[in-house]
Amino acid sequence: MGLAVKIGQGFKDFRNGLSIIFGKPNPEAGGDRKLAKISVILEAQVSSHNKYQMCTSVIKDIERVLGKEAKHGGKEAVERKVALSLATPEWMHMLHRIGLGEPDIRVIAMEALKKYAKM
């Protein structure tokens, strides 16, 4: 029984260590908490050497997500998703760190709507 307690405590210590390393999103901050967790992890990986690659990757992911929203839910779904992401402080901080902002997100949303309105 002593070994099981030590293993359990080791797991808790490891989990707590990861939350300290990667940070922990504020539960009262508002917005999308799943997006906040992803943002905290991504922001921990941003360095001056990989900013451009991170920015490119994030833009592609935003295009993919908003494209799905435009395809299935139309303009209202895209606007809802954009509003939710802009209300997430961790997401906005991470975007700022890689050189993006609210106008960039809105342009990507408009492009997604244009692209999927033709289909």
pLDDT at 12: 67
- Total residues belonging to the chain: 119
Query: Could you tell me which of 18, 117, 47 has the C-alpha nearest to residue 55?
Result: 47
The model's pTM = 0.71
Helices 33-45 + 89-98 axis angle, to 10? 30
9 has a pLDDT exceeding 90: no
Residue-averaged pLDDT of the chain: 82
Place of tokens 């707590």: 16
Distance CA 45, CA 102 (A): 21
pLDDT digits (tens, 9 = 90+) for 68-97: 999 998 899 999 999 999 999 999 999 999
pLDDT digits (tens, 9 = 90+) for 21-74: 555 666 666 788 788 888 877 888 888 778 888 899 999 999 999 999 999 988
**For the chain, what are the domain ranges?**
2-117
Distance CA 99, CA 95 (A): 6
- Asked whether the beta carbons of 43 and 25 are under 8 A apart, the reply is no
